[in-house]
């Protein structure tokens, strides 16, 4: 009898265990469903936030690109030829201390080294280009995109050719203008005469041509720039000589003539020291624009 009672007790326990197991399974299932649902909601929220952030970043990028495009368009318009519109001033009425680093004859094998130095010091410059070294022409665009100004120095830089007549000069100038346009999208209004406006070699080919050209380029919407400091690197100079020639505290607005050519390694070597000299005196380094100081020499032909 006791044995039967024990059996019944055991059989009574099994349904309880079974109910407990069912309850546990149901509870665990519900718990998992709740967890899964919470996890899904969390993931959905994170995904939504990520999408919103990406959309915001894309919108900001688009706005930045639009601003950049507007600035670029304004730069093109400002730096393009505009007959009748004044360019620059020969007598700045301010106390700013500004250096305009200008490089003639490029682009060349040394242009990249010059750009690297300028970037290192956060300095801007102006490059008066020629039509030579076709393989280096992409550096014109690179310089422009880095915030430097592109000017024209004639295509051939051949004195006999460019100063043979007024028409010959403008034909050569327009040709290098097309080189600039291919790289930066427009013909700039900033120019420098081979030998500067004060050169006398032009008289050997056409007496009085510089007097006529200095007037006509401005009538056509250009502005020409000479310099008030010469590095002397047009001839063979050591880096020390270039530094000595290029450094002065005589002017508040300093326009320095350098040359950008494959043979001008000493110019590249001297450039950091020139920049450091003026930085230590509190000068800024700017590229030429329509508001810049204009240096004109006395015309001698």
Residue 64 lies in a domain: no
Q: What is the pLDDT of residue 29?
A: 72
From start to end of 105-227, where are the E strands? 125-129, 149-152, 190-191, 223-224
Task: Tell me if 198 is assigned to some domain.
Answer: yes
At residue 59, the pLDDT reads 79
Distance CA 167, CA 213 (A): 10
Q: Decide if 32 is inside a domain.
A: no
In a domain, 176, yes or no: yes
**3-class state of residue 79 by DSSP:** helix
Those residues with Cβ within 8 angstroms of residue 133's Cβ, 6 or more apart along the chain or in another chain:
106, 107, 108, 109, 262
Query: Which stretches in the chain have pLDDT values below 70?
Result: 1-15, 18, 20, 28, 31-32, 34-39
Do the domain assignments include residue 137? yes
Per-residue confidence (pLDDT) for residue 12, from 0 to 100: 60
Task: Please tell me the predicted confidence (pLDDT) of residue 37.
Answer: 66
Angle (nearest 5°) at CA 169 between 165 and 172: 135
Is residue 11 in a domain? no
Please classify residue 249 by burial: count the beta carbons closer than 10 Å to its beta carbon, then call 0-12 exposed, 13-18 middle and 19+ buried.
Answer: exposed
What are the phi and psi torsion angles at 202 (to 5°)? Answer: -60, -25
Q: Could you give the CA distance from residue 86 to residue 153 in angstroms, rounded to a whole number? A: 20
- For residue 229, the enclosing domain spans 98-285
Going by C-beta distance under 8 Å and a sequence separation of 6 or more, which residues neighbour residue 21? none
Query: For the domain that residue 177 is a member of, what is the CATH number?
Result: 3.20.20.370
291 part of a folded domain? no
- Of 261, 205, 210, the C-alpha closest to 234 is 261
Q: What is the pLDDT of residue 114?
A: 98
What pLDDT was estimated at residue 97? 97
SS3 at position 80: strand
pTM of the predicted model over 0.75:
yes
How far apart are alpha carbons 76 and 124 in whole angstroms? Answer: 17
- Tell whether 76 is covered by a domain: no
Residues 48-84 pLDDT 10s: 888 778 878 787 787 777 777 888 888 899 999 999 9
Total domain count for the chain? 1
């Amino acid at each position: 009898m006791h044995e039967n009672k024990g059996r019944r007790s055991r059989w009574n326990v099994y349904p309880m265990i079974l109910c407990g197991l069912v309850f546990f399974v149901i509870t665990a299932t519900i718990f998992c469903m709740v967890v899964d649902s919470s996890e899904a909601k969390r993931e959905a929220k994170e995904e939504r936030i990520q999408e919103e952030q990406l959309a915001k970043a894309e919108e900001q990028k688009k706005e930045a690109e639009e601003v950049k495009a507007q600035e670029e368009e304004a730069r093109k318009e400002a730096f393009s030829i505009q007959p009748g519109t004044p360019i620059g001033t020969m007598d700045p009425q301010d106390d700013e201390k500004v250096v305009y680093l200008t490089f003639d004859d490029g682009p060349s094998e040394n242009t990249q080294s010059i750009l690297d130095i300028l970037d290192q010091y956060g300095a801007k410059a102006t490059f008066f280009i020629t039509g030579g070294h076709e393989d280096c022409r992409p550096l014109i665009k690179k310089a422009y995109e880095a915030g430097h100004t592109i000017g024209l120095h004639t295509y051939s830089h051949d004195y006999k050719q460019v100063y043979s007549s007024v028409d010959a000069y403008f034909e050569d100038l327009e040709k290098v203008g097309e080189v600039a346009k291919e790289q930066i999208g427009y013909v700039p209004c900033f120019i420098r005469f081979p030998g500067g406006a004060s050169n006398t070699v032009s008289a050997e080919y056409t007496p009085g041509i510089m007097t006529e050209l200095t007037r006509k380029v401005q009538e056509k919407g250009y502005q020409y720039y000479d310099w008030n400091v010469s590095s002397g690197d047009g001839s063979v100079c050591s880096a020390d000589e270039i530094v000595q020639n290029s450094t002065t505290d005589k002017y508040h607005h300093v326009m320095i003539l350098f040359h950008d050519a494959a043979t001008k390694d000493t110019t590249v070597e001297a450039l950091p020291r020139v920049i450091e000299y003026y930085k230590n005196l509190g000068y800024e380094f700017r590229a030429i624009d329509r508001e810049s100081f204009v240096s004109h020499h006395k015309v001698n032909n």
